[in-house]
Amino acid sequence: MSDGLRLPVIGRETGEAIKGMAILLMLAHHLFGLPTLIKEPASYLATVPGVPLEYWLGRFGKICVSVFLLLSGYGFAMRMAGGSALPSWRYFADKVWRFLLAYWPYFLLAWGIGLAFFQERMANGNLRFPTDPLDIVLNALTLRNTMAFEWWFAETYLLLVLLTRPILQANARPVLLLSASSLAFVAGAAMDFVRFDPSVISFANLLIWQWPWIIGILAARHAGMSMPLVVSPVVAGAILVLAVLAGFILAELALPFAMTPFLILATPAVLLSLVWLWPGAGEGLSGRVLGWLGARTLGLWLVHPFFCYYFFQAEIFSLRYAPLVFSALLLASLAIVMPVEALRGAIAGHRAARA
């Protein structure tokens, strides 16, 4: 067995750099991976004429969600490593509260601008930017996402945070936890396939996306353990990359409806290959830039749909060339995120000083 082939311990810097890569994949996914959402006159020119590289990258970019969730579950579990006591329910409720405090400035900004300048009635007859007090509250609590469909993730994420305490307790029996999680994933995928999810809370999403979260918790439990393979990390990483690419091509050509489940299930292999092939992911200039983006994923996720879909799609795509369109979306989103985060930081600093 190669002494170097171990399940990696993902440090904070590496995790932030991977999140930075994931948020870039999210931008690519929403720009190029969903062509039916690009409305005339918006369009773009492929980097290589006749080769849909951007579309393929956009399709693969859907993996960003499961990357975020796996890293989040991993982070929660690593905080419990070393014999630390299991936190109380209040700890996880505080995590939810902190998320909402970060979420609300972007919610209010998007709601105010949309209500004033971009109000529209959607196909189901509802207003995109709610005016009914109950609808406003439900959107503010992430129980509805009428303003931006891409905000569906918030509800699922917060439910997983609240469920993390019993999941961490179940982590004492990893085989049982993995089995239950896999069965729940299959059930959620079946619900999604037949479009059966009648409740306000999306149980289909919860059942599907709990899998990478729980895989992250299980990975933290086994971080640093040796693996029974007689190959080097580089060889193992290359094998995983080839396997994921083969699966991606097969899904794209033969089973496109199965692309999202495939990407979710492939996420552990993608992260393993990344860490094995790029052990210093959080180092160097590229690592620091990705880490800087990774620290701003929440704002970039919340802001970017309004540039690429709801407010300024034509302007973003007016640059025509795919790399320029991508750069425009990233820079425009950062132009909103940076002052909002600076303001949030100043408020937090003022409160800390008063305390």
In whole angstroms, what is the distance from residue 306 CA to residue 303 CA? 6
Q: Give pLDDT, residue 229.
A: 66
Q: Where are the domains of the chain?
A: 12-354
pTM of the full structure:
0.92
What is the distance of C-alpha 159 from the center of its chain?
A: 15
Angle, helix 12-32 to helix 53-60, in steps of 10 degrees: 130
Q: Give pLDDT, residue 4.
A: 54
In whole angstroms, what is the distance from residue 305 CA to residue 242 CA? 32
Q: Give pLDDT, residue 231.
A: 76
Tokens of 101: 């405090």
Map tokens 């960003």 to a residue: 64
Q: Give pLDDT, residue 82.
A: 59
What residue ranges of the chain have pLDDT lower than 50?
A: 1-2
Q: Give pLDDT, residue 1.
A: 39
In whole angstroms, what is the distance from residue 144 CA to residue 318 CA? 31
3-state secondary structure of 3: coil
